[in-house]
Amino acid sequence: MPSFATPPIEPMQIRFDFSTAAVQPAGPAMTRRMSSLSGLFAREDLRAAEASGEDPVVYSVVSSPVPEFARELPQSITTIRPGTIGGEFFMTKGHQHPDPQAEIYLGLGGVGGLLMFNGQRSTWIDMAEGVIGYIPPGWAHRSVNTGTEDYSFLAVYPGSAGHDYGWVLEHGMGQRAFSDPTGHVLTPYSAICV
Ligand code: PAN
Ligand code: ZN
């Protein structure tokens, strides 16, 4: 058996509870409220107003105890609440992996989208229960809830990939997803639809 520099992780069973979107055993968890999403929505003025008022939860992330160490495969489950700000759907911050490595998403419940941007081109994958979204190395990614219920998905990513949120603030995501009578519409990143 090879020896690794990091503390050894034992084989384990990890259970997902579809009714609560929780994992057992549980690792780190995080909640993102509107106040932590500064500069991400097209209508920053409306976001700031919501943040200083009700400050709703936009999404939460729970993880298994697999750590972010090289050669490990951490997993997390993200649940995005339904809602819009200025017509733009609730979404994750989005990030780039500084060590470009691939990632896999699996839709668990609700409906949403996986928006990816490589600096030149952006692409969108419709997500729902049972859909696998493949994120190739070098593509920044953001998730969007396009439905009226919670949208949940599993993410599995290399433990050494890292997370760079500044890249998205600097480069954007290429497109934005707004509510539309047909469901959702994608606009250029600079567009403001109300
Ligand atoms: C996901 C994301 C998760 C939250 O686990 O980290 O959906 O999105 P932000 O990290 O953009 O806030 C993932 O892609 N991990 O690599
Ligand atoms: Zn990622």
Mean pLDDT in residue range 166-172:
96
What pLDDT, in 10s, does the model give residues 54-66?
A: 999 999 999 999 9
Which pLDDT band holds residue 2 (cuts at 50, 70, 90)?
A: low
Mean of pLDDT over the chain: 94
- Write the residue with the smallest CA distance to atom 8 of ligand 1: 92
Q: How far apart are the first and last CA of the chain?
A: 58
Which pLDDT band holds residue 173 (cuts at 50, 70, 90)?
A: very high
- Write the residue with the smallest CA distance to atom 13 of ligand 1: 155
Backbone angles phi, psi at 150, to 5 degrees: -60, 145
Mean pLDDT in residue range 125-139:
98
Give the contacts of 172 (CB within 8 A, at least 6 positions apart): 117, 189
Mean pLDDT in residue range 149-170:
97
Q: Which ligand is nearest to the CA of 78?
A: 1
Ligand 1 mean position to 1 CA, how many Å? Answer: 32
Q: Which residue has the higher pLDDT, 114 or 194?
A: 114
Q: What percent of the chain has pLDDT over 90?
A: 92
Mean pLDDT in residue range 29-42:
97
Name all residues whose Cβ lies below 6 A of ligand 1.
61, 76, 78, 92-95, 103, 141, 143, 155, 157, 163
